[in-house]
Amino acid sequence: MEGEKEPRCSGQGRILVTGSVPWGGRVQLDGSISVDGVDPVDPDVAVYRFIALPYLKSMLQKRELDFASPECWVDRFELGVLLSRTSVTINEVADGTFPLHLAPAYVQCWSRSSQSDVLMRAYSRVVNSGTKKTCKSERNRCPNEDGVRVRSTPRKLMSVLKEGSPTETSCFIGAIEYVEQQFIESNLSQIVRQIVAEALGHEANDHLQAILARAQEFLGEPKASARLLLLKRKAFEQEAEVRVILIPRSRPLKKSLGGSWRSDVARDRSKQPRMYIPFDPNKLFDEMTFDPRLRPVELAERKESITKLGYTGKFQDSNLYKPAHLWIQITLKP
């Protein structure tokens, strides 16, 4: 039977709907959300964010946290991006082809990894005599490109969001589930099939309009959107990512995109790629760590520059690239 076949999905984001398979996750209290198979985030466990130093300085000067729309991301298989590039065709419905759009969402990415060479190098570039043999300079030749790692906790992040977010905004924190690309495609197909089955399960004069209405209702629901944003391909598994997700539910606000799902949501989201939340860095950040490949004098300069911007918290030096010296003692018995 056609409805018993596996979901069919092409790499170009076009889905053929053949039946209905339910999909769900579980939602935790206090703003924590997870998908099946992934433990909820401990509100007091340390999380880390690796960012470029100029970005950190701007954040401290403006006292604003920057949340980006998934449309800004590089990974085209993020579901927030993939949905906007997906069209659905239903063979049994006249003119049954329509696009999909997730409710507008804004995300900030953190990590459970405190010592990550991959993330440090992704957000920090240091070129000196210690990192490049042909470089004669002791100082970083790219001083505007080195990065910093900040530490906080999910509890402190949620506290900042409760104080600074617009009233009509849903806030979630969750750990990423890393899955195969095929799972993401199959999962998306299952969601669409569920939407279609639920829409056609009620009497309606216009089946397509009924499906569109159910899609708007389903994809515009904040918890459903947050669950979808917690799936990512295994190629990024080393990031050990935790996401802070904001989903506006009201009319447009300054620097943000407002609420109700509309057919032109993708166009509007492209005009509003970021949301900014006011915050106190001394309430959010527990410590800061600069790129350990910098020389001691450069580390001191960067600490001083951050302190002048009002940061009063701790600085922690990293031993990620510290040369190791092992002392092995052996006792030979006669």
Write the pLDDT tens digit of every residue in 263-299: 444 445 556 788 888 999 999 999 999 998 889 999 9
List Cβ neighbours of 44 (8 Å cut-off, separation of 6 or more). Answer: 153, 154, 155
Nearest Cα to 65, choosing from 1, 142, 128, 158? 158
Distance of alpha carbon 4 from alpha carbon 21, whole angstroms: 10
DSSP 110: E
Higher pLDDT, 199 or 293: 293
The per-residue pLDDT for 201 is: 76
Q: Are 86 and 98 in contact (CB under 8 A)?
A: no
Structure tokens at 254: 């300054």
Distance of alpha carbon 69 from alpha carbon 278, whole angstroms: 18
Structure tokens at 103: 């409710």
Q: Are 232 and 179 in contact (CB under 8 A)?
A: yes
The per-residue pLDDT for 271 is: 61
Distance of alpha carbon 184 from alpha carbon 101, whole angstroms: 16
Q: Which amino acid is at 136?
A: K
Categorize the per-residue pLDDT at 80 as very low, low, confident or very high, splitting at 50, 70 and 90.
Answer: low
Place of tokens 């302190």: 307
Helices (H), the chain: 53-62, 79-82, 117-123, 154-164, 181-200, 207-219, 222-228, 265-271, 281-284, 296-308
List Cβ neighbours of 135 (8 Å cut-off, separation of 6 or more). Answer: 127, 128, 129, 141
Phi/psi for 47 (5° steps) reads: -125, 155
pTM for this model (two decimals): 0.76
Residue spans per domain, the chain: 2-125+134-291+307-315
- The distance from CA 238 to its chain's CA centroid, rounded to whole angstroms, is 14
pLDDT in tens, 218-252: 877 888 888 888 888 898 898 999 999 888 875 43
Categorize the per-residue pLDDT at 303 as very low, low, confident or very high, splitting at 50, 70 and 90.
Answer: very high
The per-residue pLDDT for 289 is: 94
List Cβ neighbours of 102 (8 Å cut-off, separation of 6 or more). Answer: 70, 79, 80, 83, 84, 219, 225, 228
The per-residue pLDDT for 256 is: 33
Phi/psi for 69 (5° steps) reads: -70, 140
Phi/psi for 185 (5° steps) reads: -65, -45
The per-residue pLDDT for 15 is: 32
Say what the alpha-carbon torsion angle 76, 77, 82, 88 is, to the nearest 10 degrees.
Answer: 130
The per-residue pLDDT for 36 is: 52
The per-residue pLDDT for 38 is: 55
Nearest Cα to 5, choosing from 23, 21, 24? 21
Categorize the per-residue pLDDT at 21 as very low, low, confident or very high, splitting at 50, 70 and 90.
Answer: very low
Q: Which amino acid is at 73?
A: W
